């Protein structure tokens, strides 16, 4: 049961509603290259507009070093959002975020108007959760809505501090959906529950692996992190990515899985090349090797065909699947097969299917398989922390108010 107040529990007619969105979208030469995060918040915005609220939207974008940086302005988002909503979204160009321009724009709002504030991280207080900016943000509104799951693992002014200074703080539909699906997957999964972990940053994913082994029935490991597990089993992994400090941890996880009667699946073959492609999408000569025969001068960069079969088979009868991190260097067309195979097997499975954001979400979106998933999380880091059993400050702050 979802136990937080949501936008369904409040009346916003005629009220100024500050909505913390996650508009942290990728930009290239000032153009948005992936608008999934903008699309994801539309149901919340439409509901609030149907309720005749006055919407003041805020978000961070990237990591500005010192205050205002025109390259990280949210202006392009206002344009795209306008197109998607089919109505004007006024951009409150204000280097102080809540400065004279923003205040004036808010003062002139009518019911059903939408304003987007400038990048919250242009204020140095934002990431330090310093009261001054929290108060500034709160002064603009009567109601606060948090729909930025992607930032929920951070305690910043715009998602945590501000809630202290408003009378009503609730979550939006996106936040609600992310919490419900991720929460059910880890706390009350339909079984068999299969978790798939990939990607390169094993140290970031340590706690998740430990926690998932408690909850899941099968844990599948792929991507760069698999080689530390293979080395921990005493295998020769050539020049493949390895985190030597984590060998003992991986050995412990292998032992833990065996003790708990959980299946821990590791690659049985790999697609390897002489070196990491440079640039990342450069053509590569790929050869397939068994994990018992990886040559010393080769680097494993994707799972091999036998592993794809093994992993796809394990996903067939699953009733809950959680996936975080690609199976190989999926940015390269020659090394994307493993990631696609897992995405396709997942799409075919009759299960609750959760993609934990980041690169696996990018791969699923690229394949056009997002519709076949129950949830493609907008927050890689936040979903990882959630899956590792942590309480997210952004989720805690916006509730029951
Ligand atoms: P995010 O942090 O964006 O949520 P993620 O959780 O999807 O990302 P990361 O741990 O960041 O995953 O790892 C993704 C990266 O791992 C990709 O850039 C991919 O190229 C790289 N990768 C996957 N397999 C390998 C491999 N065998 N060797 C080296 N790098 C790999």
Active site annotation includes 380: no
> From edge to edge, which strands make up the β-sheet containing 193-197?
263-265, 218-221, 193-197, 320-324, 352-355, 375-376
Helix (H) or strand (E) holding 260: helix 247-260
Q: Which residues contact 228 (CB under 8 A, 6 or more apart)?
A: 202, 241, 242, 243, 244, 246, 247, 250
Contacts made by residues 127-131, CB under 8 angstroms, sequence distance 24+: 127/154, 127/156, 129/155, 129/156, 129/157, 129/160, 129/161, 130/157, 130/161, 131/161
Helix (H) or strand (E) holding 45: helix 42-50
Helix (H) or strand (E) holding 248: helix 247-260
What end-to-end distance do the CA atoms of the chain give, in Å? Answer: 18
Does ligand 1 lie within 6 Å of residue 325's CB atom? Answer: yes
Does ligand 1 lie within 6 Å of residue 338's CB atom? Answer: no
pLDDT score at 400? 61
Does ligand 1 lie within 6 Å of residue 224's CB atom? Answer: yes
pLDDT score at 277? 98
Kindly report the backbone phi and psi dihedral angles of residue 315, in degrees, each rounded to the nearest multiple of 5, phi listed first.
-90, -15
Give me the torsion for CA of 381, 384, 385, 388, rounded to 10°. Answer: -170
Given ligand 1 and candidates 195, 325, 337, which is best to mutate, with the most ligand atoms within 8 Å of its CB?
325
**Residue-wise pLDDT tens digits, 251-275:** 999 999 999 999 999 999 999 999 9
Max mean pLDDT range (195-209, 312-326, 358-372) = 312-326
Q: Please, is 86 exposed, middle or buried when counting C-beta atoms within 10 Å of its C-beta (0-12, 13-18, 19+)?
A: exposed
pLDDT score at 123? 98
pLDDT score at 384? 87
Does ligand 1 lie within 6 Å of residue 263's CB atom? Answer: no
pLDDT score at 298? 98
pLDDT score at 278? 97
* Average pLDDT for 362-368: 89
Distance (angstroms) between ligand 1 centre and the Cα of 48 equals 37
Measured CA to CA, the distance from residue 375 to residue 138 in angstroms comes to 31
Asked if 336 contacts 330 with a C-beta cutoff of 8 angstroms, the reply is yes
Short-list 57, 62, 33, CA closest to 44: 57
**Residue-wise pLDDT tens digits, 226-246:** 999 999 999 999 999 999 999
**Ligand 1 atom closest to 205 (CA):** 10
Does ligand 1 lie within 6 Å of residue 307's CB atom? Answer: no
On the question of pLDDT at 1 being above 60, the answer is no
Does ligand 1 lie within 6 Å of residue 331's CB atom? Answer: yes
Catalytic one of 358, 379, 380, 394 = 358
Active site annotation includes 47: no
**Ligand 1 atom closest to 270 (CA):** 27
Asked if 380 contacts 152 with a C-beta cutoff of 8 angstroms, the reply is no
Q: Whose CA is nearest to atom 2 of ligand 1?
A: 358
Please state whether beta strands 375-376 and 16-20 pair in parallel, antiparallel, or not at all (unpaired).
unpaired
**Residue-wise pLDDT tens digits, 66-121:** 899 999 999 999 999 999 999 999 999 999 999 999 999 999 999 999 999 999 99
Q: Please, is 7 exposed, middle or buried when counting C-beta atoms within 10 Å of its C-beta (0-12, 13-18, 19+)?
A: buried
Please state whether beta strands 269-273 and 287-290 pair in parallel, antiparallel, or not at all (unpaired).
antiparallel
Does ligand 1 lie within 6 Å of residue 329's CB atom? Answer: yes
* Average pLDDT for 378-392: 87
**Ligand 1 atom closest to 223 (CA):** 24
* Average pLDDT for 384-390: 86
* H helix and E strand count, the chain: 14, 17
Distance (angstroms) between ligand 1 centre and the Cα of 2 equals 32
Measured CA to CA, the distance from residue 159 to residue 150 in angstroms comes to 11
pLDDT score at 245? 94
Please tell me the least confidently modeled range out of 103-112, 190-199, 334-343, 374-383. Answer: 374-383
Given ligand 1 and candidates 223, 225, 267, 339, which is best to mutate, with the most ligand atoms within 8 Å of its CB?
223
* Average pLDDT for 363-378: 92
Given ligand 1 and candidates 22, 62, 200, which is best to mutate, with the most ligand atoms within 8 Å of its CB?
200
Asked if 274 contacts 298 with a C-beta cutoff of 8 angstroms, the reply is yes
- CA Rg value for the chain: 23
Kindly report the backbone phi and psi dihedral angles of residue 41, in degrees, each rounded to the nearest multiple of 5, phi listed first.
-95, -5
Q: Please, is 142 exposed, middle or buried when counting C-beta atoms within 10 Å of its C-beta (0-12, 13-18, 19+)?
A: middle
Percent of the chain whose pLDDT exceeds 70: 99
Catalytic one of 15, 16, 20, 37 = 37
Given ligand 1 and candidates 37, 199, 272, 332, which is best to mutate, with the most ligand atoms within 8 Å of its CB?
199
Percent of the chain whose pLDDT exceeds 90: 86
* Average pLDDT for 51-60: 98
Distances (CA, A) of 216 to 13, 185, 208, 375, 387: 45, 9, 11, 18, 11
Q: Which residues contact 383 (CB under 8 A, 6 or more apart)?
A: 149, 178, 182, 324, 354, 356, 357, 377
Does ligand 1 lie within 6 Å of residue 64's CB atom? Answer: no
Asked if 308 contacts 270 with a C-beta cutoff of 8 angstroms, the reply is no
Under the banding of pLDDT at 50, 70 and 90, the label for residue 387 is confident
**Residue-wise pLDDT tens digits, 185-216:** 888 999 999 999 999 988 888 788 999 999 99
């Amino acid at each position: 049961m979802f136990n937080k107040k949501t936008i369904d529990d409040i009346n916003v007619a005629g009220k100024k509603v500050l909505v913390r969105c996650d508009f942290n979208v990728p930009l290239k030469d000032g153009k948005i290259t992936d608008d999934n995060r903008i699309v994801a918040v539309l149901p919340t915005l439409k509901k609030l507009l149907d309720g005749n609220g006055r919407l003041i939207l805020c978000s961070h974008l990237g990591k500005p070093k010192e205050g205002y940086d025109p390259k990280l302005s949210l202006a392009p988002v206002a344009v795209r959002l306008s197109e998607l909503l089919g109505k004007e979204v006024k951009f409150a160009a204000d280097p102080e975020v809540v400065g004279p321009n923003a205040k004036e724009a808010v003062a002139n709002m009518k019911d059903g108007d939408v304003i987007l504030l400038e990048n919250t991280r242009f204020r140095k207080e934002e990431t330090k959760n310093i009261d001054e900016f929290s108060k500034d943000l709160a002064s603009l509104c009567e109601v606060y809505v948090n729909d930025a799951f992607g930032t929920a693992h951070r305690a910043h002014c715009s998602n945590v501090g501000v809630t202290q200074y408003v009378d009503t703080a609730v979550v939006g539909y996106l936040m609600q959906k992310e919490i419900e699906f991720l929460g059910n997957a880890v706390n009350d999964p339909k079984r068999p529950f299969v978790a798939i972990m990939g990607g390169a940053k094993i140290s970031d994913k340590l706690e998740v692996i430990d926690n998932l082994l408690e909850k899941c029935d099968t844990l599948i490991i792929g991507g760069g992190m698999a080689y530390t597990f293979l080395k921990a089993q005493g295998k020769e992994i050539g020049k493949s990515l390895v985190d030597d400090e984590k060998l003992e941890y991986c050995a412990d996880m292998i032992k833990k899985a065996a003790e708990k009667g959980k299946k821990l699946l590791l690659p049985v073959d790999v697609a390897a090349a002489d070196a990491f492609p440079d640039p990342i999408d450069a053509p590569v000569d790929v050869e397939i090797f068994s994990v018992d025969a990886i040559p010393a001068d080769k680097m494993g960069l994707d799972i091999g065909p036998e592993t794809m079969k093994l992993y796809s088979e394990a996903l067939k009868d699953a009733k809950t699947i959680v996936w975080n991190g690609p199976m190989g260097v999926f940015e390269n067309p020659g090394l994307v097969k493993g990631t696609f195979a897992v995405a396709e097997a997942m799409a075919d499975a009759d299960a609750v299917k959760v993609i934990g954001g980041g690169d696996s979400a990018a791969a699923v979106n690229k394949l056009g398989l997002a519709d076949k998933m129950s949830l493609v999380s907008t927050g890689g880091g936040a979903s990882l922390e959630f899956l590792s059993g942590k309480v997210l400050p952004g989720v805690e702050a916006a509730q029951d108010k």
